[in-house]
Structure 1
Amino acid sequence: MTDCFVRVALDHPLSTLFDYRCPSDGPAPVPGTLVNVPFGRREAVGLVCEVTAHSDVPPDRLRNVTSVCCSCPPLSADWLALAAFAADYYQRGLGEVALPALPQALRDASRWDRLFAREPRYRALPAGREALPDSLPVRASALRRLAAALLAEDALFASDARALHPKAVAVLDAWCETGWVEREVVDPFAAGHSAAAPVAVTNPTALPVLTDEQTAALDAISGAHGFAPFLLHGVTGSGKTEVYLRALAHLLERRPDAQALVLVPEINLTPQFEAAFRARFASLAEGAIVTLHSGLAEGERARNWLAAHTGHARIVLGTRLAVLASLPKLAVIVVDEEHDPAYKQQEGLRYSARDLAVWRAKQLDVPVVLGSATPSLESWWLAEQGRYTRLTLSRRAVADAVLPVVKLIDLEDEHRRGRASFEGLSGPLVAAMKTRLERGEQSLVFLNRRGYAPILSCDACGWVAGCPRCSAYVVLHKPERALRCHHCGWESRIPRACPDCGNVDIAPMGRGTQRIEEALAQAVPGARVLRIDADSTRRKGSAEALFSDVHAGEVDILVGTQMIAKGHDFQRVSLVGVLNADTALFSHDFRASERLFAQLMQVSGRAGRAGLPGEVLVQTRYARHALYHALTRHDYVGFATSTLAERRDAHLPPFVYQALLRAEGRTLDAALAFLQQAAAALHDIPAAERVTAYDAVPMTIVKVMHVHRAQLLIESGSRAALQATLRAWLPALRQLKGVLRWSVEVDPLDI
């Protein structure tokens, strides 16, 4: 038997596949198999893309495959095609796409044996559930953690138990002998281990009655055959999630072995979605509903990914990284809040999960549903052109729930009338919150700026606290008594006096969520105020716990950033106050108005969802602005129509296609010089005749972590011409020197 050769993709910037020899006495890998190979002076896990009987590499330079991951079923040809498309479109190496899409545990060959070992798991028996809470010493914290995890989970795997107690397995085995716990050994990733049983929806008689519009949308989605892209445009509270649930139920009733992928934009939205799906599909086998996001522990993410890869998971719920999960029986894709910028990866492979979801649905010939109350203008334009089928939910699903009344508080008029405000909270807004407190209702205050104040300055000499590593001001975080850079993470204590002139009267300027939280406690006495932002939810599970407090009615006023603006169904919130929205009106980014309108529509939708009359108060100095008037009418269609007309006249996306070349250097001059050389290289590319290249300019935040940044924008009315230009341009860029690093981003969102 002769040797065969494999061409392997490695996590490397070059698109080259690397040839290796497979010894004849070892297992023969097939495309999609993971292998461990020598690469330079180290070993690396790679993905077999081709198997061949010949290699163009001289025999004396060929190296042998070290080991093959036989326990993991090979990735499918469809998945390899998805990775190849993403690599080609986003101008990256195939290995740069394929390997980072896998869980870290699969990219480490030393962990393969443990990952695929038959692992014991433990379940608490009724006797143990009764005895364990009172039988452990109070000071035995590790034992108590182990018992709490065992009682909280249906099953506790040994690997998870070891993270809670150093001798967890011995303790659990002892509890088994006592009769408190049962032990079983399972292989959750064995081929054929599936939950392909008919689906019975939990309590079908208790399901909400669908509106006519929901029924029409459900019929269209469930009746689709082959590739069918739907844009589900539903106002906030219109029951888009219920349409998703019913559509998935219909699918699993018809095809018990089918898989569904549901994407959400942020991690903090996954718990409530997961709870809704588990409640509705309680008849599915254990492990048939899994989540995939970066907040999971490595072991849990690997198990969930493998459950999807082996077909055991029927419903996969995740953030943008889940779009690259292996799902061999994928039959429908849902992208909730499809407009959200969080679907665009901003480092490494800068892909759009929404766009890849549509491409994947077309590749597999299955339906894809893009849902939003404020669709992206790209999706809206495609629906206008008839390339997407638009489904509309124009009213709220709850019978007595209507859209909230949106009112503008003109801050200029308040000032002219001599009406005082308190720390940025206008009199009408404070009065409205006091009224809700008296009624026992909840209020929500939205400010998309965390920290206490964005600036700390000295009135005497004009000093402003800045980051020594970035061209940005540091943010004051009063509870932590720290100044923190939100770009690089640099932190220092708050100075007692101005470092330039010694003035002790340094003061914060502007307001963040911490300062508003402090002000609300004084402006609305007796109110229970809760802040939810990136600072208050750093610990794992903290966001879920805080939102539970809100839903339980233990909070009177919720203040927060965009984390609270979308997806959450707050039953008791009847008032929403919006602070400091005007800053986005004057941004240099042409997408700023689109994002602001979507943000305000989303946060407005948190009010009045359960039949309570809802009111939204937006504080602004520009009450006559067209964006705010469209907001008061809940007129997304009018806003989208006028904004698309402006984009067409200005030759901006979606009417042109763009790519951005970024360069980072030790000096700004070095970064700009690199980009100027790159622009000159375009003249030698025939396809570039249909491409416009703009001047190289510094980025908005020029310096981050002592690295200077600049960018060069190119665009074309033809996607094909832009892609052809990029393919020919990249080899020339690799020959240029003088910068620390550079990257190309296709379809950039932040310019």
Structure 2
Amino acid sequence: MPIVAVAVDAPFHSGIGHLLSYHSECAIAPGSLVRVPLGKRDVLGVVWSSEADDPAHSPERALKDVLQVLDASTPLSADWRGLMEFTARYYQRSLGEVALMALPSALQDHTATQWQQRLDKLANGPKKSRTRKKAASAADTNAAPIAVDAAAPVVSLDSKPLGKPALTAQQQQALEAIGSQAGGVHLLHGATGSGKTEVYLQLAERILAADPQAQVLFMVPEINLAPQWQALIQARFAPWFGAECVAIMHSGLTPVQRLHEWVAVHQGRKRLVLGTRLAVLGSFAKLAMVVIDEEHDPSYKQQEGARYNARDLAVWRGKQLGIPVVLGSATPSLESWYNSRSATAQSPAGNYQRVSMPERIGGGALASLRLVDMSAYPRETVLAPSLLKAMQERITAGEQCMVLLNRRGYAPVLGCGSCGWKSDCPHCSAHQVVHKSDRSLRCHHCGWSTRVPHHCPRCGSVDLAPIGRGTEQLQELLQEQLGSLVLDDGRIPQVLRIDADSTRLKGALQESLAQVHRGDVDIVVGTQMIAKGHDFRRIGLVAVVQPDGALYSSDFRAPERLFALLMQASGRAGRDAEYMQGSASTPELWLQTREPQHVLYAALAKQDYPGFAAVQLREREQAGMPPFCYQALLRADAKTQEDAQAFLRQVAQLARAASLPGQDWVTVYPPVPLTIQRVANAERAQVLLESTSRKALQAYLTALQPLLHQARAQAPKGLLRWLVDVDPMAI
């Protein structure tokens, strides 16, 4: 009987290994889906390879048999398996864990018969039923509506006139610079409102017209950006591929929806794919281009389980397939900016092509910066009088304003004025946040929630008060301050809050965005989720409250993130040049700060990302930080901090004694607690590993894996888990 090596879903720290061997009655093609026994369970697996059985070793190899082969669909391609192998190897996870994570969860419960029935049903087209309606209603709060489209393309790309706008000169230059290359990585550095999206769409059009099987993947950092992107892509390509031409891939879908979309992409029936970081792991019939919008966004890095970076995997996948990868941003990550550098006497050119689009469409002006020195006002001042006056003038003139405070809830903490008690979470080393809308105290780390107490739990005093401010309180304050105004149409100014709390119900985000676009709202208050990607046409003024906290953070990436957030926020103002000219006003970014002379704000005033990036890269090079070195974190969670750190020290001792490959090039720092030390009753500690050689760090990490299992076996019972985070986004 042939032996097949099968990848099954088993975490690497379980010690099961990458692949398990099974007997099969017949040869099975690599990439085939199978059901195999694993312990007492019957699980889904992916055949990775097969070999002839060796009769001499059969008695010793008491292998179990493959139970079923789900052979109704095309096997997963060698390209896809290569991506899984690289992802598992680079991010230090088991192959089966990564491969099964990339497959729809609904698929993992299918038998061979059920899989055949499912594919037959999809091939015959969607049927309306109560079951389908119920599944759709169970979709995530902000998931876009999905319909399975089994039809072939409606017409060819060449058979109808193109419904697309004329390109500006800089858009045309960018299109030709990228489109003239058969592959490679292209960094499209374009100012907010410069028309990067249209360049993406016309690049996709060229790719799809040139190859009738080609597929294009568009990636966005967050689910809340998917609906407007879906509408844009459908509006452009529906005449050729049908109204439901876009496959959606993100965690907001129901399991059945995700399965249907995965099948459509795997079979090549849908040629346009839109998704978040999960989409990069999809199985494509013929992927021909990847577009990553807002490529700098940290949301592309998975923070649980297999901690992969979708942007970096897209770059690797582009190189693997020889296809173009377009990274777009007004504020590129410093890694991408460095990789697109020009050659100098000190260093060769980077591996990416940099294409710039510095001007807004229609000659619209970028927002000018107005710094408000809050040290001139009492500490309790939330909004400066000058800012309130400017906002009043804008909304009276018919414009909209946006106010950004990157802290949801009513207040970060509830405190007692008598004894100093604070609303600490009982399970985390963090405060519970005050939420006035439902009178709750809620931990944003573990989810623990309780009612706001009427008196202090420690001393019984009723002198309880919120400390600090969140978006709920800011919305309330603005409504109070501007509620006495009566606008020309007789309305009182409307203040709308958009954050993770206000949009958690089904359809809430879409309705909120629609209110802004219709002009029903005068002031939008929210967190960073409103600062990027949204095309608000009537906003003339953007104000940012309390941005200074990131200026002196211990995280070396904090200045980069703050600058990106502020530039992205400023880009929401004045996007419609014709509207701004009609109202005879210019867009403004108001910044309330106690550090008005800070160099970051000076660069922001000039909208000078290249200058800011040059300073940051120089400082990083001097400090030996990425992109001039490579990092990984080894983290341990335990019942006590002592147990967590003891495990990490034991691993370091074993590694030194074993003289691991690459050891001379890798610096291993002592274990320290995480910034938020305890989450959900687990104490967390970490060790930083650093090297100027990526190859040396990878060799070291690979050789470290057996020692982690050895140390785990010797660790006290208090150790809960360990993990490796390669290329961490925060330290």
Taking the aligned partners of 1:196 and 1:120, their CA distance within structure 2 comes to: 16
Alpha-carbon displacement from aligned partner over 1:669-695 (angstroms, at most 9, x marks no partner): 000101111111221214211110111
Choose from 656, 664, 670 the match for 2:629. Answer: 656
Partner SS for 2:628? coil
Amino acid across the alignment from 1:489: G
Taking the aligned partners of 1:460 and 1:561, their CA distance within structure 2 comes to: 32
Taking the aligned partners of 1:499 and 1:460, their CA distance within structure 2 comes to: 12
CA separation of 1:722 and 1:165: change in aligned 2, threshold 3 A: closer
Aligned residues of 1:200 and 1:283 also touching (Cα < 8 A): no
Aligned residues of 2:339 and 2:352 also touching (Cα < 8 A): yes
Residue 725, structure 1, aligned to residue 724, structure 2: no
Aligned residues of 1:344 and 1:350 also touching (Cα < 8 A): yes
Q: Displacement of 1:256 after TM fit? A: 2.3
CA separation of 1:157 and 1:52: change in aligned 2, threshold 3 A: farther
Residue 557, structure 1, aligned to residue 523, structure 2: yes
Partner SS for 1:284? helix
Q: Displacement of 1:421 after TM fit? A: 7.2
Taking the aligned partners of 2:190 and 2:177, their CA distance within structure 1 comes to: 15
1:507-522 paired onto structure 2 within 5 Å: 507-522=465-480
Q: Displacement of 1:284 after TM fit? A: 3.0
Q: Displacement of 1:15 after TM fit? A: 3.4
- Where do 5+ consecutive residues of structure 2 fail to align? 139-146, 342-348, 484-491, 581-585
Partner SS for 2:102? coil
Residue 589, structure 1, aligned to residue 555, structure 2: yes
Partner SS for 2:170? helix
Partner of 1:628: 601
1:356-375 paired onto structure 2 within 5 Å: 356-375=313-332
Choose from 652, 658, 667 the match for 1:692. Answer: 667
Partner SS for 1:87? helix
Percent identity over the alignment is 49
Amino acid across the alignment from 1:72: S
Q: Displacement of 1:65 after TM fit? A: 1.0
Aligned residues of 1:122 and 1:158 also touching (Cα < 8 A): no
Choose from 615, 640, 643 the match for 1:642. Answer: 615
Partner SS for 1:300? helix
Amino acid across the alignment from 2:118: L
Q: Displacement of 1:209 after TM fit? A: 2.3
CA separation of 1:200 and 1:560: change in aligned 2, threshold 3 A: farther
Taking the aligned partners of 1:59 and 1:157, their CA distance within structure 2 comes to: 53
Moved more, 71-80 or 369-378: 71-80
Partner of 2:678: 703
Partner of 2:721: 741
Choose from 195, 199, 207 the match for 1:239. Answer: 195
1:261-300 paired onto structure 2 within 5 Å: 261-286=217-242, 287-300=244-257
Partner of 1:482: 440
Q: Displacement of 1:723 after TM fit? A: 0.4
Taking the aligned partners of 2:567 and 2:643, their CA distance within structure 1 comes to: 43
Partner SS for 1:237? coil
Taking the aligned partners of 2:217 and 2:632, their CA distance within structure 1 comes to: 29
Amino acid across the alignment from 1:743: L
Alpha-carbon displacement from aligned partner over 1:524-553 (angstroms, at most 9, x marks no partner): 112111100000111232211211111111
Partner SS for 2:239? coil
Alpha-carbon displacement from aligned partner over 1:169-199 (angstroms, at most 9, x marks no partner): xxxxxxxxxxxxxxxxx9967xxx7438522
Aligned residues of 2:661 and 2:703 also touching (Cα < 8 A): no
CA separation of 1:58 and 1:585: change in aligned 2, threshold 3 A: farther
Taking the aligned partners of 2:373 and 2:88, their CA distance within structure 1 comes to: 50
CA separation of 1:219 and 1:725: change in aligned 2, threshold 3 A: same
Partner of 1:401: 364
Q: TM-score, normalised by structure 1?
A: 0.88
Partner of 2:52: 53
Taking the aligned partners of 1:94 and 1:520, their CA distance within structure 2 comes to: 52
Taking the aligned partners of 2:18 and 2:116, their CA distance within structure 1 comes to: 29
Partner of 1:390: 354
CA separation of 1:162 and 1:637: change in aligned 2, threshold 3 A: closer
Alpha-carbon displacement from aligned partner over 1:151-185 (angstroms, at most 9, x marks no partner): xxxx746641354899xxxxxxxxxxxxxxxxxxx
Taking the aligned partners of 1:648 and 1:85, their CA distance within structure 2 comes to: 28
Partner of 1:84: 85
Partner of 1:8: 6
Moved more, 567-576 or 101-110: 101-110
CA separation of 1:253 and 1:16: change in aligned 2, threshold 3 A: closer
Taking the aligned partners of 1:391 and 1:263, their CA distance within structure 2 comes to: 19
- Where do 5+ consecutive residues of structure 1 fail to align? 124-154, 167-185
Taking the aligned partners of 2:471 and 2:34, their CA distance within structure 1 comes to: 49
Partner of 1:680: 653
Partner SS for 1:118? helix
Aligned residues of 1:201 and 1:282 also touching (Cα < 8 A): no
Taking the aligned partners of 2:669 and 2:125, their CA distance within structure 1 comes to: 62
Alpha-carbon displacement from aligned partner over 1:30-83 (angstroms, at most 9, x marks no partner): 101110011111111000000221266646621111111122211000000000
Alpha-carbon displacement from aligned partner over 1:636-694 (angstroms, at most 9, x marks no partner): 01100000000000000000000100000010000010111111122121421111011
Partner of 1:34: 33
Q: Displacement of 1:109 after TM fit? A: 2.3
Q: Displacement of 1:499 after TM fit? A: 1.3
CA separation of 1:122 and 1:674: change in aligned 2, threshold 3 A: closer
Moved more, 533-542 or 550-559: 533-542
CA separation of 1:122 and 1:327: change in aligned 2, threshold 3 A: closer
Taking the aligned partners of 2:136 and 2:47, their CA distance within structure 1 comes to: 37
Aligned residues of 1:105 and 1:112 also touching (Cα < 8 A): no
CA separation of 1:122 and 1:92: change in aligned 2, threshold 3 A: closer
Taking the aligned partners of 1:520 and 1:165, their CA distance within structure 2 comes to: 35
Q: Displacement of 1:412 after TM fit? A: 1.1
Taking the aligned partners of 1:57 and 1:431, their CA distance within structure 2 comes to: 84
Q: Displacement of 1:580 after TM fit? A: 0.8
Q: Displacement of 1:118 after TM fit? A: 2.0
CA separation of 1:119 and 1:257: change in aligned 2, threshold 3 A: closer
Taking the aligned partners of 1:49 and 1:215, their CA distance within structure 2 comes to: 45
RMSD, aligned CA: 2.0
Q: Displacement of 1:474 after TM fit? A: 0.5
Residue 579, structure 1, aligned to residue 581, structure 2: no
Q: TM-score, normalised by structure 2?
A: 0.91
CA separation of 1:681 and 1:253: change in aligned 2, threshold 3 A: same
Amino acid across the alignment from 1:99: L
Alpha-carbon displacement from aligned partner over 1:684-742 (angstroms, at most 9, x marks no partner): 21421111011100001111111100000010000010001001111001111231100
Partner of 1:19: 21
CA separation of 1:703 and 1:435: change in aligned 2, threshold 3 A: same
Partner of 1:183: none
Taking the aligned partners of 1:688 and 1:661, their CA distance within structure 2 comes to: 15
1:119-518 paired onto structure 2 within 5 Å: 156=128, 159-161=131-133, 163=135, 194-195=152-153, 197-200=155-158, 204=162, 207-225=164-182, 227-286=183-242, 287-384=244-341, 385-397=349-361, 399-415=362-378, 424-518=382-476
Partner of 1:614: 587
Partner of 1:177: none
Taking the aligned partners of 1:620 and 1:373, their CA distance within structure 2 comes to: 23
Partner of 1:181: none
Taking the aligned partners of 1:476 and 1:36, their CA distance within structure 2 comes to: 48
Aligned length: 685
Alpha-carbon displacement from aligned partner over 1:262-294 (angstroms, at most 9, x marks no partner): 110000001001100000112233443211000
Amino acid across the alignment from 2:355: L
Amino acid across the alignment from 2:360: R
Partner of 2:489: none
Aligned residues of 1:263 and 1:318 also touching (Cα < 8 A): yes
CA separation of 1:408 and 1:188: change in aligned 2, threshold 3 A: closer
Taking the aligned partners of 1:269 and 1:704, their CA distance within structure 2 comes to: 29
